[in-house]
A and B are shown apart, each in its own frame.
Chain A
């Protein structure tokens, strides 16, 4: 099976934005492809919302170009762009009914009434709000408002749908449900979605690709899996999931392998495929390892490549998982180890000495 070459729909080149002396964006370059679910992920103040608002046309870049569907967007106002936005506050017009909200943009396009009604009905069906068209905006629940905002954007058949933290106002359960629905809807329609979020889990579960942003720059642009497995630096690594950082030193390169000394775990050799390009061995001070890549070995557990010894200092029980804090010799901070709870295995009490298994392939090196 061959995958068709991705067609770019949005091209961002050298985008900067200054508010007075504050530089919100410091040179953004990215290409977003047609039909892609793309997320801008980062802590608040990283510039992700500013970037989204620029694509929508509510802000203009200080420098750089935005090309959407082959057209330079410089000087094109928001009402003439092939994008539609789902606002964080949903921005449902309070003086209009649900149907009038959804049909708002179609009315601007001067479509005949019957056609507007049909399109609105379809859009409401699509977001599971069929039959609620005559409701007043204030009679809706938070989840329903979110769906109306989505229908209002989708009914315009935009090339790109922009979503500004659309799930942040919903409670956890509804949020999880909407994540799945949004993703399914996007895949069914094949429209490009750009999502702004500070919730790494949201970005990981929904996106095709994620741009992780810090301080006005894209730190890493990759697929969720790559981002989780090969974060480029410590900041990305700790923002996406949990990461244990351990002191390490490169002791040399031998026949395609990198020799590492990790005081807390021992000495190992890594195949060079695992070493990121351009890594300066002299600067190597830290390695990362995810909690689920460390295992507490029980009797009868599968053998692992390497075994270190540690002492359990604390446990946190999550039902399906237990998170252990474990002290390893030669390392000041405790590492976190996550273990799936299985039948007949009790939780190891703090104070116990345990063997900790790990594999060299789970070691993450940073640039």
Chain B
């Protein structure tokens, strides 16, 4: 039997629950179903088969793409989180006044669309871009640098910039929650600043670090705009291939199998990161 309170709770969440079921679970089930079907030119063969998965897991092109995606995302995540930590730390420990203003400023990049920001990097890194022109004008280089744009580095740079606020905020919140007297206690018990950081600050900030890592890692693996615009050919990622399968290649079932495969891989990597973070962070309540 449902008690009155529980019934009320269910009634309150049910619109949202229905909406998310519709918008999240339904597409997922569709993709899952598709992945077991076969595309015959214009018709779909709805006999259940594992052929799509066989192709996805055996053809070298797909594994190359997924490995590259993972590599780029992991580098992006590492760069983003490592760069975000000092900013969050500074904000939390050294900004005494106008903290809100700082947080506000960090969100400024969001005021323009994601696409515009990617284009902006094209303008900065391009052959006749801001960086090359400036370096040439200063006489440091004679020919424009070509390794700046249309490769994996450009993807890393663009993504790391785009996701920085998402990484800063969870770490900032975790650092804010640390009781400052714990740091004093560690110092009182003989720790210098470095030891104290690794024994108290970092373990207690771990929930924030793990959250940042997952927030950056999961979406970047699936990103397809940035690699398409600044990645060139050797910067393409798995999501681009999925897009192609659903679009030009007209092979939605294979695209679905690729999407679910990469989802599975990302999910397992996330689980590992989560567990590692938990272990390092100890029994944080």
B79 within 8 A of A: no
A104 within 8 A of B: yes
**B189–A105 contact, CB under 8 A?**
yes
Residues of A within 8 Å of B, CB-based: how many?
A: 28
**Cα distance A122–B118 in the bound complex, in angstroms:** 62
A204 within 8 A of B: no
Shortest A105–chain B CB gap in Å is 3
A290 within 8 A of B: no
**B186–A87 contact, CB under 8 A?**
no
**B189–A156 contact, CB under 8 A?**
yes
Interface string of B40-60 (1 = CB under 8 A from A): 000000000000000000000
**B190–A109 contact, CB under 8 A?**
yes
A79 within 8 A of B: yes
Known contacts A108-B195, A138-B285; is-contact A91 B190 (Cβ 8 Å): no
Instruction: Chain A residues near B192: list those with CB within 8 A.
Output: 77, 79
The segment from A92-100, A269-277, A278-286 that touches chain B is A92-100
B184 within 8 A of A: yes
**A136–B179 contact, CB under 8 A?**
no
**What's the interface size class on B, roughly?**
20 to 34
Known contacts A89-B179, A108-B195; is-contact A94 B188 (Cβ 8 Å): no
**A56–B204 contact, CB under 8 A?**
no
Shortest A79–chain B CB gap in Å is 5
Shortest A269–chain B CB gap in Å is 55
Shortest A110–chain B CB gap in Å is 10
Main SS at interface, chain B = helix
**A104–B283 contact, CB under 8 A?**
no
**Cα distance A109–B282 in the bound complex, in angstroms:** 22
B182 within 8 A of A: yes
**B184–A87 contact, CB under 8 A?**
yes
**B283–A95 contact, CB under 8 A?**
yes
**Cα distance A84–B186 in the bound complex, in angstroms:** 10
Q: Can you report 24 A-B residue pairs in the complex whose CB atoms are below 8 A from each other?
A: A57-B187, A77-B187, A79-B188, A80-B190, A84-B188, A85-B185, A87-B181, A88-B181, A89-B179, A89-B181, A93-B182, A94-B182, A94-B204, A94-B283, A94-B284, A94-B285, A95-B282, A95-B284, A96-B282, A97-B283, A105-B190, A108-B190, A136-B283, A138-B283
Binding site for A on B (CB under 8 A): 179, 181-182, 184-192, 195, 199-200, 203-204, 281-285
Q: A91-B184, A91-B185 are in contact. List 19 more A-B contacts (CB 8 A).
A: A57-B188, A58-B184, A78-B187, A78-B188, A79-B187, A80-B190, A84-B188, A84-B189, A88-B181, A89-B181, A91-B179, A91-B182, A94-B284, A95-B282, A96-B282, A104-B186, A104-B199, A105-B190, A152-B185
